[in-house]
Amino acid sequence: MYQALYRKWRPMSFDDVVSQPHITTTLKNQIATNKTAHAYLFTGSRGTGKTTCARIFAKAINCLNPKDGEPCLECDICKNADNGALADIIEIDAASNSKVDDIRELREGVMFTPEVCKYKVYIIDEVHMLSPGAFNALLKTMEEPPPHVKFILATTEIHKVPATIVSRCQHFDFRRIRSEDIVARLEYISSKEGFTLNNDAAELIARLSDGGMRDALSLLDQCVAYDDNISVDTVSTAAGIAGRDYLFDMLEKISNRDTAGAIEIIDRLYGMSKDLKVLCSELLSQMRNVMLIKTIDNNKDLITCLPEEYDRLSSLSQTMSLDRILSVITVLQQCNERFAKSSDKRIEFEMCMVRLCTMKDDASVRTSASTASNSELEVLVKRVAMLERALKNGAVPTPAPKAEKPKKITPKQELTKLDPNSFTPLKEWQEILEKINEAAPAIGAFLQNSMASIEGNTFKVVVSSDFLMKRFKASDDKAVLKKIVNEYYGKDFDFVLYSSKNVDIEDKANPINELIKRAKEAEIEVEIKK
């Protein structure tokens, strides 16, 4: 009967385990010196060797002829353990045995001595799935187990395991397997199995597996079923991802702000039944490479790509500013997160491409805003200096009184007096505006020259245009703004919007108010431009 590659080529000894020397060396030394602990906790991402090392450890401590901490693989204990016929090595899936009663049965079995082995070993996989009651039932047994019992707990989510359990175990953290180690292992298995695996295809499989050897072997198994001569195209077809040329073509369309070209590529890929979520992840991975090339000189060790792809990535890094690269990565991440909630992935991805191709360069936006702000400040400083000199010399002519014109004031136009104590401009408002520009450039443009303040649970925004404020309230922009601000502060605010034409912020703490007061007493007309 055919056996999957990841099962057939599962390591039988510590020396066969890939990319975990810090763990395998420690375990071998403990076994060789007979200084093993009563409980171990193996953590790490999927496919990194947690369960495999647990099985090898269980074999090694019970092996009749161990050598330097390794099992001999020839005695009856080793053979029965490999065949799953050894009653003293008990594997428990915590996902399906998570109740208190399941752990109580385990506690009862612990008290019995092993049948044929020196130690009875309990391997509890996905231990984070145990219920709180089950953890409590396991706690005392793990603290003071019988001398003939060993516990090995394995999990991918260490944060869900109670600290009381963690503190009673020796903790080993399994690293993601390096791409070069995965490639070497895949090529070795391919040579033994009798099929051809191109080096570029092996590198692509290694990158798609995200540091998991099991995922890499499963994908290799899938590719073998498609074609014995495995190339990059074979891997792309088997994995349901876009071809490499399509991928880089799309990146170039984004760089050139070619919206029509990007949408056309999406249409072709959609017609070929390519997975758009996988495509988004691929784009995100390549944009990471572009970012590293842009910021780090010696970057080839940090980048996972084919040799001929490196030049294309370098060209992209030269055509895009760092601010734009970071913005593209942010938008792609947001799109990847929204895929899970989206009813139509095609529309979601097309919207993402439109944003990427039409977004402004953050650096230019910040530069223009800064220039405008500096200009306004210079004008204000000059006006204040002139006013001080005039008041000091008494050389300011008194203007002739003007006839007051009756003003027609409607309730909507009446000035809303804001206490300066309740309206302190936010220092971080500019930073929030940058995030708004990234997510929604149209809203960012509307909020230029705006001010914001927080009073209790109320978030106040003063905008420069009454017309734009009415349009803003009538659209969904307010909800977008509220979401961004709430995410920034980590709490929910009640939003109130004011137009600068209808708001008078009395800043009593500003020293210029005294100058203005003295000017009014001297009947000097003073105009404050905002």
Q: Assign 501 a pLDDT band (cuts: 50, 70, 90).
A: low
| Residue with more model confidence, 227 or 48 | 48
The rounded distance, in Å, linking the Cα atoms of 43 and 41 is: 6
Q: Are residues 323 and 254 in the same domain?
A: yes
Q: What is the pLDDT of residue 517?
A: 61
Q: Assign 302 a pLDDT band (cuts: 50, 70, 90).
A: confident
Residue 273 has pLDDT above 90, yes or no: no
Q: What is the pLDDT of residue 364?
A: 45
Domain boundary among 153, 173, 193: 173
Closest CA to 45 of 215, 208, 277, 219: 215
**Tell me, what CATH number does 486's domain have?**
3.30.300.180
Q: Are residues 142 and 24 in the same domain?
A: yes
Strands (DSSP E) found in 127-205: 149-155, 170-173, 196-197
Q: Looking at the domain assignment, is residue 519 inside a domain? A: no
| Residue with more model confidence, 302 or 104 | 104
> What are the tens digits of pLDDT across the range 30-42?
999 999 999 999 9
> What are the tens digits of pLDDT across the range 200-229?
888 888 887 878 899 999 999 989 888 888
Q: What is the pLDDT of residue 525?
A: 62
Q: What is the pLDDT of residue 26?
A: 94
CB 117 within 8 A of CB 49: no
Q: Looking at the domain assignment, is residue 38 inside a domain? A: yes
Strands (DSSP E) found in 338-464: 416-418, 451-455, 458-463
Percentage of the chain with pLDDT > 90? 27
Q: What is the pLDDT of residue 344?
A: 87
Residue 368 has pLDDT above 50, yes or no: no
Q: Looking at the domain assignment, is residue 140 inside a domain? A: yes
Q: Are residues 130 and 185 in the same domain?
A: no
Q: Are residues 430 and 509 in the same domain?
A: yes
Residue 387 has pLDDT above 80, yes or no: no
Q: What is the pLDDT of residue 411?
A: 43
Mean per-residue pLDDT, 171-175 = 93
Mean per-residue pLDDT, 385-400 = 62
Q: Looking at the domain assignment, is residue 364 inside a domain? A: no
Counting other chains too, the contacts that 430-438 makes at CB distance below 8 Å and 24 or more residues apart are 430/369, 432/484, 432/485, 432/488, 434/362, 434/365, 434/366, 435/484, 435/488, 436/481, 436/484, 437/360, 437/362, 437/365, 438/327, 438/330, 438/331, 438/359, 438/362
Domain boundary among 213, 239, 265: 239
Residue given tokens 């994908």 in the structure block: 219
Mean per-residue pLDDT, 80-105 = 88
Q: Looking at the domain assignment, is residue 260 inside a domain? A: yes
Q: Looking at the domain assignment, is residue 373 inside a domain? A: no
* Average pLDDT value for the chain: 81
Mean per-residue pLDDT, 272-289 = 85
Q: What is the pLDDT of residue 260?
A: 92
| Residue with more model confidence, 495 or 231 | 231
Residue 137 has pLDDT above 90, yes or no: no
Q: Are residues 119 and 138 in the same domain?
A: yes
Q: Assign 53 a pLDDT band (cuts: 50, 70, 90).
A: very high
Closest CA to 48 of 16, 28, 20: 20
> What are the tens digits of pLDDT across the range 444-458?
777 777 788 887 788
Q: Which residues contact 313 (CB under 8 A, 6 or more apart)?
A: 286, 289, 290, 293, 303, 305
**Tell me, what CATH number does 169's domain have?**
3.40.50.300
Tokens of 43: 């953590």
Q: Are residues 235 and 249 in the same domain?
A: no
Q: What residue numbers bound the domain in which 31 lies? A: 5-173
Q: Are residues 323 and 215 in the same domain?
A: no
Q: Looking at the domain assignment, is residue 319 inside a domain? A: yes
| Residue with more model confidence, 264 or 443 | 264
> What are the tens digits of pLDDT across the range 318-363?
888 888 999 999 999 999 888 888 888 889 989 999 999 988 765 4
Q: Are residues 43 and 108 in the same domain?
A: yes
**For 152, which DSSP code?**
E
Looking at residue 519, its amino acid is A
Q: Are residues 260 and 352 in the same domain?
A: yes
Q: What is the pLDDT of residue 498?
A: 75
Q: Assign 370 a pLDDT band (cuts: 50, 70, 90).
A: very low
Q: What is the pLDDT of residue 372?
A: 46
Q: Looking at the domain assignment, is residue 374 inside a domain? A: no
Q: Are residues 130 and 145 in the same domain?
A: yes
Q: What is the pLDDT of residue 60?
A: 93
Residue 422 has pLDDT above 60, yes or no: no
**Tell me, what CATH number does 286's domain have?**
1.20.272.10
Q: Are residues 232 and 250 in the same domain?
A: no
Q: Assign 413 a pLDDT band (cuts: 50, 70, 90).
A: very low
Q: What is the pLDDT of residue 369?
A: 43
Q: What is the pLDDT of residue 331?
A: 92
Q: In what order do the strands lie in the sheet with 170-173?
A: 89-93, 120-125, 149-155, 39-43, 170-173
Q: Assign 298 a pLDDT band (cuts: 50, 70, 90).
A: confident
| Helix (H/G/I), strand (E/B), else coil: 203 | helix
Please tell me which of 249-263, 290-304, 428-442 the model is most confident about, judged by mean pLDDT: 249-263
Q: Considering its fold, how many domains does the chain have in total?
A: 4
Q: Are residues 149 and 36 in the same domain?
A: yes
**Tell me, what CATH number does 198's domain have?**
1.10.8.60
